[in-house]
Amino acid sequence: MLEFGHPDHRRRAVAEEAALTNDMVIKMVQGGLPADTIIRTINTAPTVNFGFLPSDLTAISNAKVPEDVFKAMALRHKTVVPVPSAEPVPAKSATPTPALVSVAARPANIERLSAAPITAPTGKGYAVKYSGGSLESLKAGEDLKLFVASEHIALPR
Amino acid sequence: MSTLHCHDKSDALSLSPSSITDLSYGQEVHRRIGTAAGVAVLTLGVGAIIAFSKSKKHYIGITWDADGKKGGIALQADKNEYRGILTALEGVTGKKAVDTDEDAAKKNK
Protein backbone atom coordinates (compact mmCIF):
# COMPACT_ATOMS: atom_id res chain seq x y z
CA MET A 1 0.00 0.00 0.00
CA LEU A 2 1.28 3.45 -0.92
CA GLU A 3 1.82 6.04 1.80
CA PHE A 4 2.63 9.67 1.13
CA GLY A 5 4.64 11.99 3.34
CA HIS A 6 6.77 11.42 6.38
CA PRO A 7 4.91 9.69 9.22
CA ASP A 8 5.76 12.54 11.62
CA HIS A 9 4.31 15.09 9.20
CA ARG A 10 1.12 13.06 8.87
CA ARG A 11 0.75 12.76 12.63
CA ARG A 12 1.30 16.51 13.05
CA ALA A 13 -1.25 17.27 10.32
CA VAL A 14 -3.83 15.06 12.04
CA ALA A 15 -3.07 16.70 15.39
CA GLU A 16 -3.49 20.19 13.96
CA GLU A 17 -6.74 19.24 12.25
CA ALA A 18 -8.07 18.08 15.61
CA ALA A 19 -6.96 21.26 17.37
CA LEU A 20 -9.20 22.43 20.17
CA THR A 21 -10.98 25.63 19.12
CA ASN A 22 -13.14 28.33 20.70
CA ASP A 23 -16.26 26.66 19.27
CA MET A 24 -15.40 23.34 20.87
CA VAL A 25 -14.90 25.00 24.25
CA ILE A 26 -18.18 26.91 23.88
CA LYS A 27 -19.98 23.66 23.01
CA MET A 28 -18.52 22.02 26.11
CA VAL A 29 -19.72 24.95 28.26
CA GLN A 30 -23.17 24.89 26.66
CA GLY A 31 -23.24 21.13 27.11
CA GLY A 32 -22.99 21.65 30.85
CA LEU A 33 -19.55 20.13 31.38
CA PRO A 34 -17.92 21.21 34.66
CA ALA A 35 -15.28 23.96 34.32
CA ASP A 36 -12.61 21.66 35.79
CA THR A 37 -13.21 19.09 33.09
CA ILE A 38 -13.04 21.72 30.35
CA ILE A 39 -9.83 23.18 31.79
CA ARG A 40 -8.29 19.72 31.97
CA THR A 41 -9.28 19.15 28.35
CA ILE A 42 -7.69 22.46 27.33
CA ASN A 43 -4.50 21.73 29.24
CA THR A 44 -4.09 18.23 27.86
CA ALA A 45 -5.24 18.81 24.27
CA PRO A 46 -2.36 17.98 21.88
CA THR A 47 -3.08 21.14 19.88
CA VAL A 48 -5.20 24.21 20.37
CA ASN A 49 -6.16 26.97 17.98
CA PHE A 50 -7.97 29.58 20.01
CA GLY A 51 -8.84 33.00 18.66
CA PHE A 52 -8.92 36.20 20.69
CA LEU A 53 -10.14 38.67 18.12
CA PRO A 54 -12.95 40.97 19.27
CA SER A 55 -15.56 38.74 17.59
CA ASP A 56 -14.12 35.68 19.34
CA LEU A 57 -14.20 37.43 22.71
CA THR A 58 -17.81 38.45 22.11
CA ALA A 59 -18.74 34.84 21.32
CA ILE A 60 -16.90 33.64 24.43
CA SER A 61 -18.65 36.26 26.54
CA ASN A 62 -22.09 35.49 25.06
CA ALA A 63 -21.57 31.80 25.76
CA LYS A 64 -20.83 32.67 29.40
CA VAL A 65 -17.54 30.79 29.35
CA PRO A 66 -16.29 30.73 32.97
CA GLU A 67 -13.36 33.01 33.82
CA ASP A 68 -11.09 30.10 34.75
CA VAL A 69 -11.78 28.41 31.44
CA PHE A 70 -10.96 31.62 29.58
CA LYS A 71 -7.68 31.92 31.49
CA ALA A 72 -6.79 28.35 30.59
CA MET A 73 -7.52 29.17 26.94
CA ALA A 74 -5.28 32.23 27.07
CA LEU A 75 -2.44 30.24 28.60
CA ARG A 76 -2.63 27.56 25.93
CA HIS A 77 -3.25 30.05 23.09
CA LYS A 78 -1.86 28.71 19.83
CA THR A 79 0.62 26.32 21.31
CA VAL A 80 1.32 22.80 20.22
CA VAL A 81 2.48 19.98 22.43
CA PRO A 82 5.06 17.90 20.55
CA VAL A 83 3.31 15.10 18.71
CA PRO A 84 4.07 11.78 20.39
CA SER A 85 6.08 9.25 18.45
CA ALA A 86 4.50 6.09 17.04
CA GLU A 87 6.16 3.93 19.70
CA PRO A 88 4.21 3.89 22.95
CA VAL A 89 6.12 5.57 25.76
CA PRO A 90 5.33 4.62 29.34
CA ALA A 91 3.67 7.52 31.17
CA LYS A 92 5.99 9.05 33.75
CA SER A 93 3.50 11.44 35.27
CA ALA A 94 -0.17 12.27 35.10
CA THR A 95 0.58 15.98 34.57
CA PRO A 96 0.91 17.22 30.98
CA THR A 97 4.36 18.04 29.72
CA PRO A 98 5.19 21.73 30.19
CA ALA A 99 7.31 21.84 27.05
CA LEU A 100 5.24 23.68 24.49
CA VAL A 101 6.35 24.24 20.94
CA SER A 102 5.14 27.35 19.16
CA VAL A 103 3.38 27.09 15.82
CA ALA A 104 6.09 27.79 13.26
CA ALA A 105 4.05 29.98 10.93
CA ARG A 106 3.12 32.46 13.64
CA PRO A 107 4.33 36.08 13.23
CA ALA A 108 6.91 37.32 15.71
CA ASN A 109 4.54 39.67 17.54
CA ILE A 110 1.98 36.88 18.03
CA GLU A 111 4.78 34.73 19.45
CA ARG A 112 5.18 37.17 22.30
CA LEU A 113 1.43 37.43 22.69
CA SER A 114 1.01 33.74 23.44
CA ALA A 115 3.95 33.66 25.79
CA ALA A 116 2.87 36.72 27.73
CA PRO A 117 0.51 35.16 30.27
CA ILE A 118 3.14 32.68 31.43
CA THR A 119 6.04 35.14 31.42
CA ALA A 120 7.43 35.64 34.90
CA PRO A 121 7.83 39.24 36.10
CA THR A 122 11.55 38.75 35.73
CA GLY A 123 11.16 38.17 31.96
CA LYS A 124 11.59 40.61 29.10
CA GLY A 125 8.39 42.57 29.62
CA TYR A 126 6.62 44.99 27.29
CA ALA A 127 8.00 48.43 26.56
CA VAL A 128 5.36 51.02 27.47
CA LYS A 129 5.23 54.73 28.21
CA TYR A 130 3.47 56.05 31.27
CA SER A 131 0.80 58.45 30.02
CA GLY A 132 -0.64 59.52 33.34
CA GLY A 133 -2.74 58.19 36.17
CA SER A 134 -2.57 57.50 39.88
CA LEU A 135 1.18 57.00 40.19
CA GLU A 136 2.52 60.31 41.43
CA SER A 137 6.06 58.99 41.52
CA LEU A 138 6.10 58.72 37.73
CA LYS A 139 6.19 61.41 35.11
CA ALA A 140 4.09 61.27 31.93
CA GLY A 141 6.19 60.03 29.06
CA GLU A 142 8.48 57.96 31.27
CA ASP A 143 9.59 54.69 29.65
CA LEU A 144 8.69 51.57 31.60
CA LYS A 145 8.49 47.82 31.24
CA LEU A 146 5.19 46.09 31.88
CA PHE A 147 5.32 42.53 33.15
CA VAL A 148 2.20 40.39 32.99
CA ALA A 149 2.16 37.03 34.72
CA SER A 150 -0.68 34.89 36.02
CA GLU A 151 -0.11 36.00 39.61
CA HIS A 152 1.47 39.40 39.13
CA ILE A 153 1.22 42.54 37.02
CA ALA A 154 4.17 44.83 37.59
CA LEU A 155 5.69 48.06 36.35
CA PRO A 156 9.25 48.08 37.71
CA ARG A 157 11.12 51.38 37.67
CA MET B 1 -5.76 38.56 48.15
CA SER B 2 -5.09 41.81 46.36
CA THR B 3 -1.79 43.59 46.69
CA LEU B 4 -0.74 47.06 45.68
CA HIS B 5 2.63 48.71 46.15
CA CYS B 6 2.90 52.10 44.54
CA HIS B 7 5.92 53.41 46.36
CA ASP B 8 8.19 50.41 46.26
CA LYS B 9 11.76 51.30 45.30
CA SER B 10 11.91 48.56 42.68
CA ASP B 11 8.33 48.61 41.41
CA ALA B 12 6.39 51.68 40.39
CA LEU B 13 3.32 49.49 40.52
CA SER B 14 2.68 45.91 41.50
CA LEU B 15 -0.80 44.44 41.32
CA SER B 16 -2.42 41.07 41.60
CA PRO B 17 -4.60 40.31 38.56
CA SER B 18 -7.66 39.89 40.80
CA SER B 19 -7.45 43.55 41.81
CA ILE B 20 -7.88 44.79 38.23
CA THR B 21 -11.38 46.16 37.79
CA ASP B 22 -11.31 47.41 34.20
CA LEU B 23 -9.17 47.30 31.10
CA SER B 24 -9.60 49.69 28.22
CA TYR B 25 -7.99 50.41 24.92
CA GLY B 26 -7.96 53.49 22.74
CA GLN B 27 -5.95 55.04 19.99
CA GLU B 28 -5.07 58.54 18.95
CA VAL B 29 -4.69 59.20 15.25
CA HIS B 30 -2.82 62.21 13.98
CA ARG B 31 -1.17 63.29 10.78
CA ARG B 32 2.58 63.65 10.61
CA ILE B 33 2.47 67.35 9.77
CA GLY B 34 5.56 68.26 11.79
CA THR B 35 7.70 65.54 10.24
CA ALA B 36 6.34 66.35 6.80
CA ALA B 37 7.28 70.02 7.10
CA GLY B 38 10.85 69.09 7.95
CA VAL B 39 11.15 66.62 5.08
CA ALA B 40 9.47 69.04 2.65
CA VAL B 41 12.42 71.40 3.08
CA LEU B 42 14.53 68.71 1.39
CA THR B 43 12.03 67.08 -0.98
CA LEU B 44 8.56 68.48 -1.45
CA GLY B 45 7.07 65.24 -2.83
CA VAL B 46 8.14 63.04 0.04
CA GLY B 47 7.06 65.73 2.48
CA ALA B 48 3.58 65.76 0.94
CA ILE B 49 3.32 61.97 1.18
CA ILE B 50 4.30 62.03 4.83
CA ALA B 51 1.79 64.82 5.49
CA PHE B 52 -1.03 62.59 4.28
CA SER B 53 0.11 59.54 6.23
CA LYS B 54 -1.28 58.89 9.67
CA SER B 55 0.38 57.72 12.81
CA LYS B 56 -1.45 56.06 15.66
CA LYS B 57 -0.73 55.98 19.32
CA HIS B 58 -2.13 53.03 21.23
CA TYR B 59 -3.21 53.51 24.81
CA ILE B 60 -4.11 50.88 27.38
CA GLY B 61 -6.02 51.84 30.49
CA ILE B 62 -5.84 49.78 33.67
CA THR B 63 -7.97 50.52 36.73
CA TRP B 64 -7.76 48.67 40.00
CA ASP B 65 -9.24 48.34 43.44
CA ALA B 66 -6.70 46.77 45.74
CA ASP B 67 -8.24 46.37 49.19
CA GLY B 68 -10.07 49.66 48.82
CA LYS B 69 -7.14 51.51 47.23
CA LYS B 70 -8.52 52.52 43.86
CA GLY B 71 -6.51 53.91 41.00
CA GLY B 72 -5.80 53.78 37.34
CA ILE B 73 -3.13 54.41 34.77
CA ALA B 74 -2.88 54.97 31.05
CA LEU B 75 0.03 53.37 29.23
CA GLN B 76 1.13 54.05 25.69
CA ALA B 77 2.14 50.84 23.92
CA ASP B 78 4.01 50.02 20.77
CA LYS B 79 1.83 49.29 17.71
CA ASN B 80 3.34 45.80 17.45
CA GLU B 81 2.86 44.99 21.11
CA TYR B 82 -0.43 46.49 22.25
CA ARG B 83 -2.46 43.45 21.11
CA GLY B 84 -0.15 41.14 23.00
CA ILE B 85 -0.37 43.28 26.12
CA LEU B 86 -4.17 43.37 25.92
CA THR B 87 -4.45 39.63 25.44
CA ALA B 88 -2.03 38.98 28.28
CA LEU B 89 -3.95 41.31 30.58
CA GLU B 90 -7.29 39.85 29.51
CA GLY B 91 -5.96 36.37 30.04
CA VAL B 92 -4.69 36.88 33.57
CA THR B 93 -7.51 39.13 34.77
CA GLY B 94 -10.45 37.52 32.97
CA LYS B 95 -11.63 41.05 32.09
CA LYS B 96 -12.37 42.09 28.56
CA ALA B 97 -10.70 45.31 27.43
CA VAL B 98 -13.23 47.93 26.39
CA ASP B 99 -12.49 49.74 23.14
CA THR B 100 -13.11 53.35 24.11
CA ASP B 101 -13.03 54.51 20.47
CA GLU B 102 -15.79 52.05 19.58
CA ASP B 103 -17.85 53.20 22.55
CA ALA B 104 -17.38 56.85 21.54
CA ALA B 105 -18.40 56.08 17.95
CA LYS B 106 -21.59 54.38 19.16
CA LYS B 107 -22.46 57.36 21.34
CA ASN B 108 -21.95 59.78 18.45
CA LYS B 109 -24.37 57.86 16.19
What pLDDT was estimated at residue A89? 47
Min Cα–Cα distance to chain A from B74, Å? 5
As a whole number of angstroms, the distance between CA A76 and CA A20 comes to 10
Q: Decide if B46 touches A, using CB distance below 8 A.
A: no
Phi then psi dihedrals of residue A81, to 5 deg? -80, 135
Q: Where are the domains of chain B?
A: 17-98
Say which of A113, A117, A129 has its CB closest to residue B76. A129
What pLDDT was estimated at residue B61? 93
As a whole number of angstroms, the distance between CA B75 and CA B93 comes to 17
What pLDDT was estimated at residue A141? 87
Task: Count A/B contacts: CB-CB distance under 8 Å.
Answer: 133
Among A68, A136, A153, A157, most B C-beta atoms within 10 A, so best to mutate, is A153
E strands present in chain B: 11-15, 20-31, 54-66, 69-77, 98-99
As a whole number of angstroms, the distance between CA A114 and CA A116 comes to 6
Q: What is the mean pLDDT of residues A45-56?
A: 78
Q: Decide if B100 touches A, using CB distance below 8 A.
A: no
Contact A67 B88 (CB under 8 A): no
No. of H helices and E strands in chain B? Answer: 4, 5
* Alpha carbon separation from B18 to A15, A57, B14, B15, B94 (Å, rounded): 35, 19, 12, 8, 9
Among A61, A118, A134, most B C-beta atoms within 10 A, so best to mutate, is A134
Provide ipTM, 2 decimals: 0.71
- CB neighbours (10 Å) of residue B16? 17
Say which of A117, A144, A157 has its CB closest to residue B91. A117
Average pLDDT score, chain B: 77
Contact B92 A148 (CB under 8 A): yes
What pLDDT was estimated at residue A17? 56
The tens place of each residue's pLDDT in chain B, 109 residues long, gives 444 444 444 677 888 899 999 999 988 766 556 666 666 666 666 666 666 666 788 999 999 998 888 889 999 998 888 888 999 899 989 999 988 877 667 766 6
Q: What is the mean pLDDT of residues A23-44?
A: 84
What pLDDT was estimated at residue B59? 92
Say which of B11, B60, B85 has its CB closest to residue A156. B11
Q: Give the residue with greater pLDDT, A12 vs A134.
A: A134
Min Cα–Cα distance to chain A from B14, Å? 4
Q: Which of A153, A96, A143, A95 is nearest to A120 (CA)?
A: A153
**pLDDT tens digits for A82-116?**
444 444 444 444 444 433 333 333 333 333 333 33
Return the ∠ at Cα A131 (arms to B59 and B57), rounded to 5°.
35
Say which of A52, A133, A150 has its CB closest to residue B73. A133
Q: Decide if B10 touches A, using CB distance below 8 A.
A: yes
- Rounded to the nearest 5 percent, the helix, strand and coil shares of chain B are 40, 40, 20
